């Protein structure tokens, strides 16, 4: 016969160990259920790439940095469009021109005050004066210096610049020029040349990583597959190369490059 366990209650009465329907009582388990409300409960079933994405999505500073980096690369890709002038454009009447910060009001819209170059009669040093009664109107998607987008598509639209056929306050003595970050000693627009330079600076990192990735797989694969003396020679050669200080080595490589090479060609060859 089957024996049913009993427990005594406080009042001395006996209570059967079975439920009224004949089933045994449920026993508590030590392990919590799979979905117990913990945020880490489902991470054990994720792949490595999924774990990386989850951890990256929780890092707010990393997300902000990624978005900023995307904006910078977008501007660098379309550098000709976002730059107010072409990289070869210059105006020697505005050498060392100070930065001009755009302003806005309901009457004039976006504008800057025109600058006039003056020369000190004693020191012969140039300086600029601001005419606050005149305005150089600015606009978005305006026509400007013609260029070729990626050197292929002819265009003349710029993201921001001086409106065409606009005179500063109606005064012909003030040429309608705009230098957001000022001008250098040759009259180049520093802001435009910075945007053009970002294309090279940002592409160097990607190209270097791709070249390092390909060479690492190739040399590492050969070293691991052949092993033995070949592996020893390859590893010692890599250690010798890494022992050289990188900055002096780059300076030496840049010095031996042909003088007629462009800065872009020198950077890509060196990296």
Show contacts of 228-233: CB within 8 Å, 24+ apart: none
Q: Is residue 11 part of a domain?
A: no
Would you place residue 264 in the very low, low, confident or very high pLDDT band (cuts 50, 70, 90)?
A: low
Please state the domain count of the chain.
3
Would you place residue 35 in the very low, low, confident or very high pLDDT band (cuts 50, 70, 90)?
A: very low
pLDDT at 212 over 80: yes
pLDDT at 249 over 70: yes
With b meaning 16 or more CB within 10 Å and e meaning fewer, what string describes 117-134?
eeeeeeeeeeeeeebeeb
**H helices then E strands: how many in the chain?**
7, 8
pLDDT at 270 over 80: no
Q: Is residue 35 part of a domain?
A: no
Q: Is residue 108 part of a domain?
A: yes
pLDDT at 268: 62
pLDDT at 4: 52
pLDDT at 34: 47
Same domain, 96 and 128: yes
Same domain, 63 and 127: no
pLDDT at 69: 93
DSSP states of 123-134 = T--EEEEE-TT-
In angstroms, the CA 148 to CA 150 distance is 6
- Domain encompassing residue 96: 83-188
Q: Can you list the alpha helix ranges (DSSP code H) found in the chain?
A: 48-58, 60-77, 79-82, 190-226, 228-243, 246-256, 263-270
| Average of per-residue pLDDT across 235-250 | 86
Structural contact between residues 87 and 196, judged by C-beta atoms closer than 8 angstroms: yes
Q: Give the contacts of 17 (CB within 8 A, at least 6 positions apart).
A: 4, 5, 6, 7, 24, 25
Q: Is residue 33 part of a domain?
A: no
Would you place residue 159 in the very low, low, confident or very high pLDDT band (cuts 50, 70, 90)?
A: very high
In angstroms, the CA 167 to CA 148 distance is 27
Same domain, 58 and 96: no
pLDDT at 72: 94
Same domain, 150 and 221: no
pLDDT at 194 over 70: yes
Same domain, 156 and 220: no
Would you place residue 250 in the very low, low, confident or very high pLDDT band (cuts 50, 70, 90)?
A: confident
pLDDT at 43: 66
Q: Is residue 15 part of a domain?
A: no
Query: What's the gap between Cα 4 and its chain centre?
Result: 73
Same domain, 205 and 251: yes
In angstroms, the CA 194 to CA 199 distance is 9
Would you place residue 169 in the very low, low, confident or very high pLDDT band (cuts 50, 70, 90)?
A: very low
Same domain, 179 and 126: yes
Conformational region of residue 131, where left means phi above 0, alpha means psi within -120 to 50, and beta covers everything else: beta
Same domain, 119 and 159: yes
Domain boundary among 188, 217, 248: 188
Tokens of 144: 């400007």
Tokens of 151: 């050197």
Domain boundary among 188, 214, 236: 188
pLDDT at 256: 79
Same domain, 93 and 134: yes
Q: Write the pLDDT tens digit of every residue in 82-119.
A: 999 998 899 888 999 999 999 999 988 899 999 888 88
Q: Is residue 123 part of a domain?
A: yes
Mean pLDDT of the chain: 80
Domain boundary among 188, 212, 241: 188
Same domain, 209 and 266: yes
Q: What is the residue whose two structure tokens read 């109606």?
A: 170
pLDDT at 204: 84
Same domain, 174 and 249: no
Percentage with pLDDT > 90 across the chain: 37
In angstroms, the CA 55 to CA 46 distance is 12
At 145, give phi and psi (nearest 5°).
Answer: -65, 130
In angstroms, the CA 25 to CA 163 distance is 84
pLDDT at 261: 75
Higher pLDDT, 75 or 250: 75
């Amino acid at each position: 016969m089957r024996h049913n366990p009993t427990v005594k209650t406080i009042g001395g009465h006996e209570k059967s160990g079975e439920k009224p329907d004949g089933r045994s009582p449920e026993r508590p388990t030590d392990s919590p259920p799979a979905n117990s409300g913990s945020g880490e409960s489902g991470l054990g079933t994720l792949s490595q790439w999924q774990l990386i994405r989850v951890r990256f999505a929780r890092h707010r500073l990393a997300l902000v940095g990624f978005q900023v980096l995307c904006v910078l690369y977008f501007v660098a890709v379309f550098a000709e469009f976002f730059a107010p002038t072409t990289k070869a454009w210059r105006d020697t009447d505005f050498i060392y021109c100070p930065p001009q910060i755009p302003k806005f009001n309901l009457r004039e819209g976006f504008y800057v005050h025109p600058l006039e170059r003056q020369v000190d009669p004693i020191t012969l040093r140039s300086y600029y004066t601001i005419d606050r009664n005149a305005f150089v109107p600015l606009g978005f998607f305006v026509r400007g210096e013609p260029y070729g987008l990626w050197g292929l598509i002819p265009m003349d639209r710029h993201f921001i610049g001086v409106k065409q056929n606009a005179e500063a306050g109606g005064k012909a003595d003030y040429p309608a020029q705009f230098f957001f970050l000022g001008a250098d000693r040759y009259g180049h627009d520093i802001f435009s040349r910075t945007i053009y330079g970002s294309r090279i600076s940002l592409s160097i990192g990607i190209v270097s990583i791709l070249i390092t990735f390909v060479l690492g797989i190739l040399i590492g694969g050969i070293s691991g597959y052949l092993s033995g003396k070949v592996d020893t020679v390859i590893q010692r050669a890599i250690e010798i190369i890494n022992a050289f200080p990188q900055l002096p080595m780059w300076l030496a490589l840049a010095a031996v490059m042909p003088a007629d090479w462009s800065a872009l060609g020198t950077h890509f060859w060196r990296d």
